[in-house]
Amino acid sequence: VRRLRREAPHALLVDAGDVLEGSALSHHYARLLAGPGDVPLHPMAAVMNHLRYDAVTLGNHELDYGLAALARFREQLDAPLLAGNVHDAVTGEPTLEGYVLRDVAVLDGAPPVRVGIIGLTTPKVASWNRDVRAYLRFTDLDTAAGSLVDAVRDAGAEVVVAVVHSG
C-alpha cells in the first residue's frame, strides 16, 4: 500500500466487507465486540486505520455478531462504514452512511477531482441472518444505487465508485 501510494498518490483504498470473519483471530475479536465491557481494538480496525482506508462497505459477516458488535466495530474504524441500502426496520432511517466524498489530486497543479464512494450490501442478509430481520431492512441494490448516485452527484461528485458486497 505504501508503494502504491508513492507511485499513484491518487489511489483510493476501500474494502467490500466481511472483515469480521475469515480467521480464528478475527472471530475471537468479533465475539469480544459482542460482549460486555471495554473492548480492545479489533485487529482489522487497527490495520485499516493504520493503512488509512478511505471507505469500508458493510458485508453480511459484519452482522454475524449482532448490532452491538457492529456499532463497536464502527466506532473503532477511522474510515466510514458504508451501507446505503440498509435502514432501521422501525423508523426507516438509514443505519449507516450511504456514501463518502473524497477530493483526489490526480495531476500536479490541477484542481482535485471529487470522488463519491457509495457502499451497498446484499439484501440476502435478511434471509441468512434471522436476528437482523427484526432490526434492519435492506433495499434492493439497483434501487439504492440509483438514489445514492444521484445524491453524490448532487453533492458535487465528478466520479462515482460503487463498492458493493453482493454476498
13-37 average pLDDT score: 87
137-143 average pLDDT score: 95
Give the whole-angstrom CA distance, residue 15 versus residue 93.
Answer: 24
In this prediction, residue 167 carries a pLDDT of: 65
Give the whole-angstrom CA distance, residue 159 versus residue 153.
Answer: 8
pTM for the full predicted model: 0.92
* Run of H or E including 33: helix 24-34
Check whether 133 has a pLDDT greater than 90.
Answer: no
54-63 average pLDDT score: 95
Q: How confident is the model at residue 27 (pLDDT cuts 50, 70, 90)?
A: confident
Kindly give, in sequence order, each residue whose CB lies less than 8 Å from that of residue 130, ignoring residues fewer than 6 positions away. Answer: none
Tell me: the pLDDT tens digits for 66-115? 899 999 999 999 999 999 999 999 999 999 999 999 999 988 889 999 99
Q: Which residues pair with 99 in a beta bridge?
A: 118
Number of neighbours of residue 9 by Cβ within 10 angstroms: 11
Give the whole-angstrom CA distance, residue 105 versus residue 123.
Answer: 35
Alpha carbon distance, N-terminus to C-terminus of the chain: 26
